[in-house]
Structure 1
């Protein structure tokens, strides 16, 4: 498979604190890659560095063959990036419909009709959001907010979706719903997903590939099924 995203020797951090040390990975087009590791391993910093929120201090990142380090966030979105941060980033004062429309604002050359069609597609995926389209963000449950954050990203029709801890704080049935949706999007639309997740079982259950990070370094890479069956690796880095 062709790599849509390639990361080589990535280094990044905050001021003098270096968090990522020579991180390398690739994400094949039309696949789900799970980034796994304990709290503080550097997973969220990795996503921030890839999406332009943290400036790397070394290494390269290419998307569809083009170097993107230093490219403005707006340009990344226009190229097909979409990122859902930990907690979803839903704007509490806006309604469900208004939050979804924000996703359409980032679409390159987007027309109102195209955005409306994309929003209808999200409502087909998440019928609960359609029922609550006039509700404000602060009125939603945690699961509904996560659905909304994911739906807003999908309105932009991305090629690559970066997700940071989408299962955090959610009940198991909602986690299963979210993970199942990601799998369906990959299978039905060819969406490429880089998924940062502490719920290892759920992530490896839908992922094609896995990357294990510890103290800012990649300590294992491989097929998701192989990582899940590696007892020593699971005990050492994944906590089960």
Structure 2
């Protein structure tokens, strides 16, 4: 969570730079970082409960240009291709949605502008297994269009979705490499991750 908050300008990094497309974004405000094409889904979803799905999605568009300069243009139609379940829920208040539907809205809202990079903080936390599988499939399709950074404690899920893995402890990277190695070789996983 701290890493992602630093990447999106909610917490200042304690040292170093945060480079995005060759530009140091450390110290920039969260709205300016969002305008560069970075979408963020916080742990706990961060939806506006009294607002409808459509209103929550509209908020995601406010922070970013929608002309294609900063990434993929995520129109409502394109988003609903990934989350068809939300079509029938557009005029329902977010607090009346299931946890899985709320997570879908949070991801859809983050995508709503032109996103090149999607940051997901514990996206599977507290969700039913069927919803986890549904979101896993969506993220697997999404990664063909945009870069995704996932902070997640469910190692098997994140390894199956990832091309590369960075393992951190106390704010420092202690392992970096292809996800496939950790996914397929359990002895290697135990050695690297001290399991």
TM-score, normalised via structure 2 length: 0.90
Alignment match of 1:209 (pick from 164, 167, 171): 164
Between the aligned partners of 1:94 and 1:146, the Cα distance in structure 2 is 15
Contiguous gaps of at least 5 residues in structure 1: 1-43, 111-116
Structure 2 residue matching 1:58: 3-state secondary structure: coil
Cα RMSD, aligned residues only: 1.9
- Report the alpha carbon displacement of residue 230 of structure 1 after superposing the two structures with TM: 4.5
- Report the alpha carbon displacement of residue 157 of structure 1 after superposing the two structures with TM: 2.2
- Report the alpha carbon displacement of residue 127 of structure 1 after superposing the two structures with TM: 1.4
Please give the per-residue CA displacement for 1:107-136, whole angstroms capped at 9, x wherever unaligned. 2266xxxxxx71122222211111111110
Superposition pairs for residues 117-156 of structure 1, below 5 Å? 118-156=75-113
Q: Given the alignment of the two structures, is residue 231 of structure 1 paired with residue 187 of structure 2, yes or no?
A: yes
- Contact 1:91 1:137 (C-alpha < 8 Å) held by counterparts: yes
CA gap 1:162/1:199 in 2 versus in 1, 3 angstroms: same
- Contact 2:10 2:29 (C-alpha < 8 Å) held by counterparts: no
Between the aligned partners of 2:81 and 2:194, the Cα distance in structure 1 is 35
Q: Given the alignment of the two structures, is residue 174 of structure 1 paired with residue 127 of structure 2, yes or no?
A: no
Between the aligned partners of 2:81 and 2:66, the Cα distance in structure 1 is 24
- Report the alpha carbon displacement of residue 57 of structure 1 after superposing the two structures with TM: 2.1
Please give the per-residue CA displacement for 1:64-105, whole angstroms capped at 9, x wherever unaligned. 001111111111111111110001111100001110111111
Partner of 1:74: 31
- Contact 2:66 2:114 (C-alpha < 8 Å) held by counterparts: no
TM-score, normalised via structure 1 length: 0.74
Structure 2 residue matching 1:56: 3-state secondary structure: coil
Give aligned pairs, total: 189
Between the aligned partners of 1:81 and 1:109, the Cα distance in structure 2 is 13
Contiguous gaps of at least 5 residues in structure 2: 68-73
Between the aligned partners of 1:238 and 1:149, the Cα distance in structure 2 is 33
- Contact 2:52 2:90 (C-alpha < 8 Å) held by counterparts: yes
Superposition pairs for residues 3-152 of structure 1, below 5 Å? 44-108=1-65, 118-152=75-109
- Structure of higher RCO (CA pairs closer than 8 Å, 6+ residues apart): 1
